[in-house]
A and B are shown apart, each in its own frame.
Chain A
């Protein structure tokens, strides 16, 4: 069989809760995502085999494709024995490629070490996070723990692998070797299976390599990579990240239930032969796509993927497209939902709820979601509560991200008289909400919200965007799939991304600063694509939703209230274009820096209902 392009592709993402499958097809000269299926992930007993969940989700794809095309002959799975995906495609049977990402089985768990915590320690953490890992701990020579405490910590953690950094190339070796001695003494064991040695990547001072080998080589599986901080003012994270991915495939995936089989399944019919396609950690795939968007459109982007166990935040800021990723390992909507309650506190969750609820009932509901993570809110009240919890999970994860996404610390800066008055120092957060262009939301609670207005509300309330910011959502949680597909077919990945994956919700306009209630916060004059003009002097503390269709733009004259800034500077009128979307343009004059909700319960509930009604976020019956 000879083919010049892939015509039918299945991509799955094996998450900790569900396995999501999508079908991408080449139809009428373009790649489109056509159907999707999902099934619970099966890495646990009694099944203990991830491929069962994959088969179940692909079976759903198969059934939906038959319905869609009214063709009962469509088949993706073989009939005989252990069912598996048939490659390559032959008419109605099989597909040309199957690719997958995975975060099941707890994802990739790493420990990293450095010499100075906020220099090489932080760079190592950035490398591990960027590669899609959950960082269990950062151990550094100067982290104030005593050596025996560090050894105990290393022993009790059972990571999938360790990344060691420390020292600039050619610098002193003592501290990094000392760290190797601590690791050697702790003799750490890998998380999954004791049949292999723990992989340790050394990406520190190249002068220390021999000593590190002497200290560790007999005890662990030592891998040497280029120094990830070769000089103080330069990070070189690529080589260490590549090694992490290699080891992820070679060691970690081999140990997870059913993954050796899954790794054989992921393959594509390319250039006349079938090739194996590596499985990617889910966050690494999402990171891939985020960076592509930022570079393609030359914009600053924040992306979030809120899952059952963890919340990942990605950002691309500054003209150098600096990419950062953080994982809030215990902020999620099912497995970790109870931890959101513990971290945010009940009052912070309840502040978003527009009705009275018995606190103990709410606490028990949250715990029940934790122990039965795959259930979904069937009742409207429960949906509102889950979305309130989501706002807090998103907010807390973003705080952690802002603290981590900083410029390199320890870099000498030449300062002239002018910059001496500038408060920015090395190590300041590079997340700037005013220059931020786009927020992309992803993950069940955002992607599957029954109304898109709810997604807009969650993103605005959690992130408090400033000035003019576009909002988008991954329509059906496809970013991981497209991130891994981009590795073998960037054309298909980009096409599907633009046409089917990212849904532009609209634009949020929010003046920054606070003024007296009832004072005018924003005078807006917006010429909509249909010729209508929206014109209003909007007082402080309001929300307005102006419908503006997808793929259109409105011309806007935005004059902030006295002392406020909407993007062009304090008190400055801002003339710009606002993107439409499936929800439209949201004018939010509730204030930024600070954003404060009324403390009095009745006023707060009254305001929440008013804003939710304006956004048409929920059915009227719950807002009356």
Chain B
């Protein structure tokens, strides 16, 4: 077989990008098709149903559920105020003295009244949810009541792992070389509100210093597993992240441990130093994979937006690959051959391999252990 499919992370200086910005529930779209939006602009809003408070009225009044209708003072669908009586009995001997009443502990709406279980459901007022554009661009599609699709032309970097949600800011490079560790002393007051770029590793001291200095995001080659644990207060069991609330977003381009940031990624970020970018740390490495992203909007005309469907990444001789597991984790090689036959590697595992030239040496690497570098 002379070619094979291989998953890889996108790192490119120009891509037409589409971003869906969809509400969790149906709501209202605030922009129109063709509108130019900035990353902080609101594009859609809705309100989530409020919390539910169940109360067993029958138990509280000491009556049977079937008797609830006789004593209930409210109806399903009605608005209620805090302290409003929702059920009341007839008092001592039914004479109206010493009445027992149940008052609503919340303001909201009556969801339901059950005469089978004696249960009344009260619902708190709705909770507003707003969605921002996240990237500068043009609204190319409005999904009525659901959200929008925003398109732009961007420089684009997909990370391998991240934590915390969406943010934006100006890019600032803090290291000279992609193999350098981002030391705390490099992070100064000038980094406030910026997205800072480190090299092979950003240790916890640097993350904490960045937070203190008001940095919005960190882009780093590697991060230590224990540092993430210390930062979050727990160990990440499965890679579903993005919901953390640390006040600073971290995006890792290569992986865990000190790993030199890919030259291409580093140089790309460097060429956009001082430019505005959006980023997020959302990662989900299961169903419907989500990778963290850095998006740097470029100037564009409407005609530039010819969106191309992503191509299937295919391994072929001559292409560049990055090794993503030991030995040689992080090294770049050029494919020289894709032999068909399975081959035994050091672990005695019989696998499909490729041959590549890495730093002048010819290596045999399992195909599963490389990532294609788009050129």
Closest to B255 in A: A368
Contacts of A450 in B (CB 8 A): 344, 347-350
Contacts of A575 in B (CB 8 A): none
User: B248: shortest Cβ distance to chain A, in Å?
Assistant: 20
Closest to B349 in A: A450
Which residues in chain A, 517-535, are within 8 Å of chain B measured between CB atoms? none
CA distance A16 to B238 in the complex (A): 14
Evaluate whether A338 and B160 lie within 8 angstroms (CB atoms) in the complex, with A46-B310, A364-B257 already known.
no
Taking a contact as CB atoms under 8 Å apart, the answer to whether B111 and A378 are in contact is no
User: A316: shortest Cβ distance to chain B, in Å?
Assistant: 30
CA distance A447 to B311 in the complex (A): 33
Taking a contact as CB atoms under 8 Å apart, the answer to whether B238 and A335 are in contact is yes
Q: Give the most central of A330, A377, A448: most B CB within 10 Å.
A: A377
Taking a contact as CB atoms under 8 Å apart, the answer to whether B239 and A47 are in contact is no
CA distance A383 to B350 in the complex (A): 13
Evaluate whether A335 and B348 lie within 8 angstroms (CB atoms) in the complex, with A309-B286, A375-B325, A378-B366 already known.
no
Contacts of A27 in B (CB 8 A): none
Closest to A449 in B: B349
User: A367: shortest Cβ distance to chain B, in Å?
Assistant: 4
Taking a contact as CB atoms under 8 Å apart, the answer to whether B226 and A363 are in contact is yes
Contacts of B371 in A (CB 8 A): 372
In-complex Cβ contact of B238 among A148, A339, A451 (8 A): A339
Q: Which of B45-53, B131-139, B189-197, B297-305 contacts A (4 or more CB under 8 A)?
A: B45-53
Contacts of A371 in B (CB 8 A): 160-161, 239, 255-256, 283, 285
CA distance A342 to B121 in the complex (A): 40
User: Is A181 an interface residue when CB atoms closer than 8 A count as contact?
Assistant: yes
Q: Give the most central of B161, B344, B365: most A CB within 10 Å.
A: B161
Q: Mark B149-171, 1 if CB is under 8 A from A, else 0.
A: 00000000000110000000000
Q: Which of A172-180, A399-407, A420-428, A542-550 contacts B (4 or more CB under 8 A)?
A: A172-180
Q: Mark A56-87, 1 if CB is under 8 A from B, else 0.
A: 10001001000100000000000000000000
Contacts of A368 in B (CB 8 A): 255-257, 324-325, 329
Contacts of B7 in A (CB 8 A): 40, 374
Taking a contact as CB atoms under 8 Å apart, the answer to whether A148 and B116 are in contact is no
CA distance A371 to B292 in the complex (A): 12
Q: Mark B352-371, 1 if CB is under 8 A from A, else 0.
A: 00000000000001101101
User: B117: shortest Cβ distance to chain A, in Å?
Assistant: 4
Closest to A152 in B: B51
User: Is A30 an interface residue when CB atoms closer than 8 A count as contact?
Assistant: no
Evaluate whether A379 and B326 lie within 8 angstroms (CB atoms) in the complex, with A39-B5, A370-B238 already known.
yes
Evaluate whether A378 and B345 lie within 8 angstroms (CB atoms) in the complex, with A46-B310, A148-B53, A178-B119 already known.
yes
In-complex Cβ contact of B255 among A60, A67, A338, A372 (8 A): A372
Q: Mark A329-369, 1 if CB is under 8 A from B, else 0.
A: 01000011011011100000000000000001101111110
Taking a contact as CB atoms under 8 Å apart, the answer to whether A378 and B346 are in contact is yes
Q: Mark B111-141, 1 if CB is under 8 A from A, else 0.
A: 1101011010101000000000000000000
CA distance A326 to B157 in the complex (A): 40
Taking a contact as CB atoms under 8 Å apart, the answer to whether A106 and B348 are in contact is no
CA distance A177 to B7 in the complex (A): 49
In-complex Cβ contact of B112 among A52, A148, A181, A619 (8 A): A181
Taking a contact as CB atoms under 8 Å apart, the answer to whether B340 and A67 are in contact is yes
Taking a contact as CB atoms under 8 Å apart, the answer to whether A338 and B369 are in contact is no
Q: Give the most central of A67, A152, A342, A619: most B CB within 10 Å.
A: A342
Contacts of A365 in B (CB 8 A): 256-257, 326
Which residues in chain B, 276-306, are within 8 Å of chain A measured between CB atoms? 283, 285-289
User: Is A495 an interface residue when CB atoms closer than 8 A count as contact?
Assistant: no
Contacts of A619 in B (CB 8 A): 348
CA distance A430 to B88 in the complex (A): 53
User: Is B95 an interface residue when CB atoms closer than 8 A count as contact?
Assistant: no
In-complex Cβ contact of A187 among B1, B49, B310, B329 (8 A): B49
Q: Give the most central of A39, A152, A378: most B CB within 10 Å.
A: A378
User: Is B62 an interface residue when CB atoms closer than 8 A count as contact?
Assistant: no
Evaluate whether A338 and B235 lie within 8 angstroms (CB atoms) in the complex, with A371-B161, A376-B349 already known.
yes
User: Is B224 an interface residue when CB atoms closer than 8 A count as contact?
Assistant: yes
Evaluate whether A56 and B5 lie within 8 angstroms (CB atoms) in the complex, with A178-B119, A370-B238, A372-B160 already known.
yes
User: A382: shortest Cβ distance to chain B, in Å?
Assistant: 6
In-complex Cβ contact of A181 among B5, B117, B255, B346 (8 A): B117
User: A251: shortest Cβ distance to chain B, in Å?
Assistant: 16
Taking a contact as CB atoms under 8 Å apart, the answer to whether B111 and A185 are in contact is yes
Closest to A621 in B: B346
In-complex Cβ contact of B256 among A46, A367, A376, A383 (8 A): A367
CA distance A363 to B26 in the complex (A): 42
User: B224: shortest Cβ distance to chain A, in Å?
Assistant: 7
User: Is A296 an interface residue when CB atoms closer than 8 A count as contact?
Assistant: no
**Chain A contact residues, CB within 8 Å of chain B:** 16, 39-40, 43-47, 52, 56, 60, 63, 67, 104-106, 147-148, 151-152, 173-174, 177-178, 181-182, 184-187, 189, 194, 211, 215, 257, 309, 330, 335-336, 338-339, 341-343, 360-361, 363-368, 370-380, 382-383, 448, 450-451, 619
What are 30 A-B pairs at a CB distance below 8 A?
A52-B312, A148-B51, A151-B54, A152-B52, A174-B65, A181-B112, A181-B117, A189-B25, A257-B288, A309-B286, A335-B238, A338-B239, A339-B237, A363-B225, A367-B225, A371-B160, A371-B161, A371-B239, A371-B285, A372-B325, A374-B368, A375-B368, A376-B349, A377-B347, A378-B345, A379-B326, A379-B327, A383-B348, A450-B349, A450-B350
**Chain B contact residues, CB within 8 Å of chain A:** 1, 5, 7, 25-26, 49, 51-54, 65, 111-112, 114, 116-117, 119, 121, 123, 160-161, 224-226, 235-239, 255-257, 283, 285-289, 309-312, 324-327, 329, 340, 344-351, 365-366, 368-369, 371
